[in-house]
Amino acid sequence: MPPTPTALLSPADQERRRALQRMKAVALGALVLMAVVFAVAFVLQTRYPWLQWVRAAAEGGMVGALADWFAVTALFRRPLGLPIPHTAIIPRRKDEIGSSLGEFVETNFLSGQVVRERLESTPLAARLGAWLQQPAHAERVATEGATVATAVLNALSDDDVGDLIEDLAREHLIAPDWAPSLGGWLGKVVETGAHHGAVDLAADHISTWLADNPQTFDGLVSKRLPSWVPGMVVRLIDDTLYREAVSFVAAVRADDDHPARRAIDDYLARLSDSLQHDPETIGRLEDAKASVFDSPRVRGLAAEAWETAKTGLLTALADPTSGLRVRAAAALVEVGDRLTTDAALQRRVDGWAIGAAVFLVERYRHDIASIITDTVQRWDPAETTEKIELMVGRDLQYIRLNGTIVGALAGVTIFTLAHLVLGGAVA
């Protein structure tokens, strides 16, 4: 398996590769040292008998080093390229390893109980509140929220949103009959006398208008009189009409039980009853509503409403000094203050967060773990082997080094025991 070019590795993987190569060199150096010591000791042991123990140690060290080299190499590839059974374990069983790893994570980490215990020991709300209390953090959240909202608004289709608004308007605003609801509302207004203030306001405005516009009555009636009527009579008629109008309005303003007021009350009461029970009145109102909100007009209003709202929102979201952004950041700071001081709110927020996390983990634990399984299955066997070797290969080289040392100790120990037991029979 050719190694991945260094330029394609991350800085961390490049450092792992250098460390792995160093440890491989050390382990190989230990094996070469044992071989050299063995050769020297083997040649000179007849002249220097004590070198038999050195030879035995070096011999055991070589055996241990070669055995552990074979074991470590067999995990990642075939030793010397030979098709030896049960070698190249990782590339051959990559999919099984990924499945086992996903199952291990799902069983031991993606457990509702594990997540609950971990989160219950963490003051989530208090930490979030302390973080949001800082204006810079609140501004950052508001900025990120504005970015997300802007992206969503730009992604929405104007035609689709217009159709949605039109459908909602038709369903909730236009389709229902207005007359019964308006009649009921008007009946309650009349019953409680809530309309008296509007009558007073209208009377006040009419009185003010009459005081400011007396000339409006000039010729209002007199111009329709025969030409033979004396001019004095003409002026008297116009003046009298004006004074009567002023006097009438003043009387309405002064008398809460004026006949005009009672007439208005009676009319509104009859109108309320007709709107609720008279089919003709109901039909006339609904026909008027339908003529006002005909199809092209509704679609135009929906499109105009959406365009206005969208433009206003995008402008406010793009401006860091806009009222929307400023109020959003201030509101987040206030939320942070409450989260750090209100114990009851902290408990509620922690409960919501823990409940949501446990629900998501228990419902989607298998889907989350399958990400690991699917990702490993998509990896190329050679790539998988190299990734795993870079992660654990350096530590595995220590096994080779330790095998050399343990083999040497075992070799000299066995030789010593054999020498003690068998005596001169040991060469």
Share of the chain above pLDDT 70, in %: 89
Find the mean pLDDT for residues 403-424: 86
The pLDDT score that the predictor gives to residue 85 is 81
More confident: 258 or 7: 258
- Rounded to whole angstroms, the Cα distance separating 64 from 409 reads 10
pLDDT at 330 (0 to 100) = 93
pLDDT of amino acid 228: 57
Which of the pair, 332 or 291, is modelled with greater confidence?
A: 332
Worst-scoring range by mean pLDDT, 28-32, 46-50, 64-68, 382-386?
382-386
Q: How many CB atoms lie within 10 A of CB 203?
A: 20
Q: Out of 91-95, 331-335, 336-340, 353-357, pick the least confident.
A: 91-95
The pLDDT tens digits for 50-80 are: 899 999 999 999 999 999 888 888 888 888 7
Between 133-137, 278-282, 355-359, 404-408, the lowest mean confidence (pLDDT) is in: 278-282
220, pLDDT greater than 60: no
Mean pLDDT (the chain) is 83
Q: How many other CB atoms sit within 10 Å of the CB of residue 363?
A: 11
Q: Which pLDDT does position 148 carry in this prediction?
A: 93
The whole-number pLDDT of residue 326 equals 92
- Higher-confidence position of 172 and 194: 194
Measured distance CA(258)–CA(252) in Å, rounded: 6
Question: CA–CA separation, 176 vs 178, rounded Å?
Answer: 6
Task: Write the pLDDT tens digit of every residue in 275-309.
Answer: 888 888 888 888 877 776 666 766 677 778 888 88
Q: Where are the domains of the chain?
A: 6-92+380-425, 179-300
Chain centre distance of CA 218: 72
- For residues 167 and 246, the model is more confident at 246
What's the pLDDT score for residue 54?
93
Q: How far apart are CA 339 and CA 353, in angstroms?
A: 13
Q: Token match 């792992």: residue?
A: 16
pLDDT digits (tens, 9 = 90+) for 98-115: 888 888 888 888 888 888
Using pLDDT thresholds of 50, 70 and 90, give the confidence band for residue 333: very high
Look at 312 and 290; give whichever has higher pLDDT.
312
Q: How far is CA 242 from the centre of its chain?
A: 70
Q: How sure is the predictor about 232, in pLDDT bands with cuts at 50, 70 and 90?
A: low
- In one-letter notation, the amino acid at residue 38 is F
pLDDT band at 222 (very low <50, low <70, confident <90, very high): low
CA distance 185 to 13: 74
Of the ranges 30-34, 223-227, 228-232, 268-272, the best mean pLDDT one? 30-34
Looking at the predicted structure, is the pLDDT value of residue 423 above 70?
no
From CA 339, how far away is CA 130, in angstroms rounded? 8
With 60 as the cut, is the pLDDT of residue 3 above it?
no
Q: How far is CA 282 from the centre of its chain?
A: 48
Amino acid at 28: L
